[in-house]
Amino acid sequence: MRIIADSSCDLLGLDWEDFRTVPLTIYTDERSFVDEPDLNITEMLDYLARFRGRSYTSCPSAEAWLNAFAGAREIFVMTVTSSLSGSYASAMMAAKQYMEENPGTKVSVIDSLSTGGEEVLVLHKLAELAHTDMTFEEIDQAIRDYLLHTRLFFAFFSVHNLSQNGRVSKTAAAALSMFNIAVTGTATETGTINVNGKARGERGALKNIYKAALEAGYTGGRAVITHVENPELAESLKNMILQDYPDAEVLIFPTRGLCSYYMERRGIVFSCETAGK
C-alpha cells in the first residue's frame, strides 16, 4: 500500500514505509519555487516579501501523480482542498487512467477540504489504519469518517502574497502589517477559507483560534500546530492546550512551501480532532 499527498500536507515523512509527496509550485513572473523537500523556505519568503508583481501557485499535473503511482497496487491519495486548487481534479484524472491501465489496482483520492495541519492529522490516522489488518475498502471508509471530526483554525499576520495575486486588497494588506493585526478564521465544511475575526498581536491571535477550536468541539484529542518560521508561538499555543488538557498529543511542524506562501511569516495553524465537523 502506498500513501501519497501533495506538498500542501507540510509533511516530509510519515510512519509508513511507502509515503510520497508530489510538489505544487509557487510562481512569479520572474521565478518559480517547486515545493520539494529541499526548497529553501527562508529564501523564498525573503524574495516574495520584496516582490511587487503577480504571484500564484500551480497544482501537480496528472503526469506527476501517475509517476508517483507507478508500481503500487493499492494507493491512498490526499490533496489540498478542491475549492482552492486543481490538485484533487488532477489526481482523480490520474487515478482513473492508472486503474484503467493497470487492472486490479485500487486508488482512493481523498479531498481534504483543507490543507496543512488538518492533512497531517488525517495522514497520521491513515498510517495507523494501514498498520492494521483492515481491508483497503474498510480503511477508505474509516478515513473519510475521520475527516468529519477534524477542523483547522488559522491566524495570518501578513496577506502580502494574497494581495499580490488579487485575493485581498493592497490597502487591507498594508493596514494589517502597520498595526500588527492578525486575521483569524477557519476552513469551512466545503473547503473554503472563512476569515471571521481579527486580533491585535500574537497573544490575541492565539486566544482567538484556540477559543474557536474549543467552541467547535475540541476536548483534548490529537492536535497539530503548523507555523511559518515561528516556533516560539507554536510552543506557546501548545502550552496553552496542555494547561487545559495535560494528556493531549500535540504535534508541531514547520510549513513547507505552499502553506508558507499563503500563511506568510509568523502565520500559525491549529488543527485538531473534534466532536463534530
Sorted by where each starts, the structural domains of the chain and their CATH numbers stand as 2-24+59-147 (3.40.50.10440), 150-273 (3.30.1180.10)
pTM for this predicted structure: 0.93
CA distances from 175 to 69, 115, 160, 254, 261 (A): 45, 26, 11, 26, 19
Buried b / exposed e across 249-273, counting CB within 10 Å, b at 16+?
Answer: ebeebbbbbbbbbbbbbbbbbbbbb
Residues of the chain with pLDDT under 50: 277
Handedness of CA 126, 129, 133, 134 (dihedral sign): negative
Measured distance CA(170)–CA(178) in Å, rounded: 12
Regarding beta strands 193-200 and 181-187, do their DSSP bridges make them parallel or antiparallel, or are they unpaired? antiparallel
Query: Which grid cell is 109?
Result: 483520492
